[in-house]
């Protein structure tokens, strides 16, 4: 566990280049259940399990790149295609006895809760991104889903490998709700997680398309904007549905999807004032 930050982004990226990613215990339990009936399992069911766990999703994509055949000319950008390329038997052989998030953070319960919160946020972002991609008639909604799910990977890595530092960032922002996350990260980590994210996805040789879909510098592209807005909405709504950034998020989403405000609120499960129904307490 890292107790003090590296001096710069290059040192951080070097550390994560060789770090073995843990996965959620529930993911491994579900894989073990399917392993027992591997002969009848299908890639869609397996992909659905993997896509509930961003760290496992990243491991699968990293695996397919490491085992890429010379004759393979196209990138594999979705989990279902990756599973078809790997094959059921090799997958179950190589994806067993994986390190667990819960074991790694056993002595850091607050960090485990922080990580689970980021994973829940990533799942919401992926679900919204997928729904909006369908509305936009995107050519491949699965690519959009994966990109949104992995958008917070650098954040997750900090909770896994530098939990004390990750908690410091959260405490800084709790003390000052107006403090930008990038400033808090620079203060504690000596770099910004958005910048680390882009270094890491290239370092892991993720497909260029997925890397592009996660690049905020290219957000004028509608597909990339689809991903970014879903992630922004998930992050800002995490602070409560009264977060000051949400009105701008709504306007940008409405423009992207060509929806009026009441229609968007309905899709998000909110009333016209952007509030969840009193009976539910939460939305989406």
Give pLDDT tens digits for 162-216: 999 999 999 999 999 888 899 999 999 999 999 999 999 999 888 889 999 999 8
Would you say residue 274 lies in a domain? no
Six-digit token pair at 92? 């179950």
Which pLDDT score, from 0 to 100, does residue 151 have?
94
58 and 147, same domain (yes or no): no
Say if residue 69's pLDDT is above 70: no
CB atoms within 10 A of CB 48: 12
Number of domains, the chain: 2
Task: Grade residue 71 by pLDDT with cuts at 50, 70 and 90.
Answer: low
Do 79 and 108 fall within a single domain? no
Boundaries of domain holding 41: 20-101
Residue 114 forms part of a structural domain: yes
pTM: 0.92
> Of 28-37, 122-131, 227-236, 255-264, which range is least confident?
28-37
**Does 128 lie in the same domain as 262?**
yes
């930008």: which residue's tokens?
A: 180
Domain shared by 36 and 175, yes or no: no
Count of CB atoms within 10 A of residue 79's CB?
25
**What does the mean pLDDT of the chain come to?**
92
The per-residue pLDDT for range 6-37, each reduced to its tens digit, is 999 999 999 998 899 999 999 999 998 888 87
In a domain, 260, yes or no: yes
Residue finishing a domain among 69, 101, 133: 101
For residue 253, what is the domain's CATH number?
A: 1.10.3210.10
Residues 89, 108 within the same domain: no
Indicate if 125 and 76 belong to the same structural domain. Answer: no
The model's confidence at residue 283, banded by pLDDT at 50, 70 and 90, is very low
68 pLDDT exceeds 70? yes
Same domain, 124 and 89: no
**119 and 52 co-located in one domain:** no
* Token output for 156: 């997750």
- Domain end, chosen from 50, 78, 101, is at 101
The answer to whether residue 44 scores a pLDDT higher than 50 is yes
Query: What is the mean pLDDT of the segment spanning 92-100?
Result: 93
């Amino acid at each position: 566990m890292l107790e003090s930050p590296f001096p710069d982004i290059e040192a951080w990226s070097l550390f994560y280049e060789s770090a073995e990613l843990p996965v959620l215990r529930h993911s491994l339990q579900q894989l073990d259940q399917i392993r027992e009936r591997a002969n009848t399992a299908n890639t869609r069911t397996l992909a659905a399990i993997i896509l509930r766990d961003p760290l496992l999703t990243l491991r699968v994509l990293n695996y397919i790149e490491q085992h890429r055949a010379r004759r393979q000319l196209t990138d594999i950008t979705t989990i279902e295609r990756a599973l078809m390329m790997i094959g059921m038997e090799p997958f179950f052989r190589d994806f067993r006895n994986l390190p667990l998030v819960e074991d790694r953070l056993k002595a850091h319960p607050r960090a485990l809760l922080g990580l689970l919160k980021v994973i829940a946020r990533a799942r919401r972002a992926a679900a919204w991104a997928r729904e909006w991609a369908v509305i936009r008639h995107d050519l491949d909604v699965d690519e959009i889903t994966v990109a949104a799910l992995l958008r917070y990977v650098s954040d997750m890595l900090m909770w896994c490998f530098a939990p004390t530092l990750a908690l410091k960032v959260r405490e800084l922002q709790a003390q000052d709700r107006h403090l930008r996350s990038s400033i808090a990260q620079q203060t504690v980590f000596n770099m910004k997680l958005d910048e680390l994210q882009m270094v890491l996805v290239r370092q892991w040789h993720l497909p260029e398309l997925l890397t592009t879909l996660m690049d905020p510098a290219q957000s004028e592209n509608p597909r990339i904007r689809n991903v970014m807005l879903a992630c922004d909405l998930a992050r800002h709504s995490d602070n409560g549905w009264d977060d000051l950034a949400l009105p701008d998020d709504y306007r940008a989403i409405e423009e992207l999807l060509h929806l009026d405000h009441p229609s968007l609120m309905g899709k998000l499960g909110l009333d016209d004032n952007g509030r969840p129904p009193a009976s539910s307490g939460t939305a989406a």
